[in-house]
Structure 1
């Protein structure tokens, strides 16, 4: 069996370039994600904005069965 050093060096070079490019693309995606995402999406609204969701502790389903939860899920679409 003949081992070609040139082929192995080409393969190692390809793997190194592939890993460097993959790392660069991941870093670019992370940078874009951080740039697009809001700083604090759960902050208290200010100005004329209002908070849309307010949990109601008195809200109870007629039963806590799986079927009623699935029915509520499809009814609200959440």
Structure 2
């Protein structure tokens, strides 16, 4: 079986074009992903915004409860 040089160059050109376009599309998607998602979702809110959840230390201390109590706490509060 004989592979011509023209056919080989077409294949090489296709592979290079595919790699370049894949990199460009990945860069575009990565850029928009960074723009849309917040940099730190756990930071303290600014302005009039308020944080929805506040974890109190007196509700859950890992060493104070037995396993059954911890399981009840998990099902009750979902934490």
Instruction: State how many pairs are aligned.
Output: 70
In 1, Cα distance between equivalents of 2:46 and 2:2: 73
- Shift of the alpha carbon at 1:39? 3.0
TM-score by length of 2: 0.65
For residues 20-59 of structure 1, what are the structure 2 equivalents within 5 Å?
20-57=20-57, 58-59=59-60
In 1, Cα distance between equivalents of 2:70 and 2:52: 26
In 2, Cα distance between equivalents of 1:22 and 1:46: 38
Q: CA-to-partner distance for each residue in 1:43-76, whole Å, 9 max, x for gaps? A: 1123332211223453576464xxx8xxx4xxx6
Q: CA-to-partner distance for each residue in 1:5-32, whole Å, 9 max, x for gaps? A: 1111101100110110000000000111
RMSD: 2.8
Greater than 6 Å deviation, 4+ residue runs: none
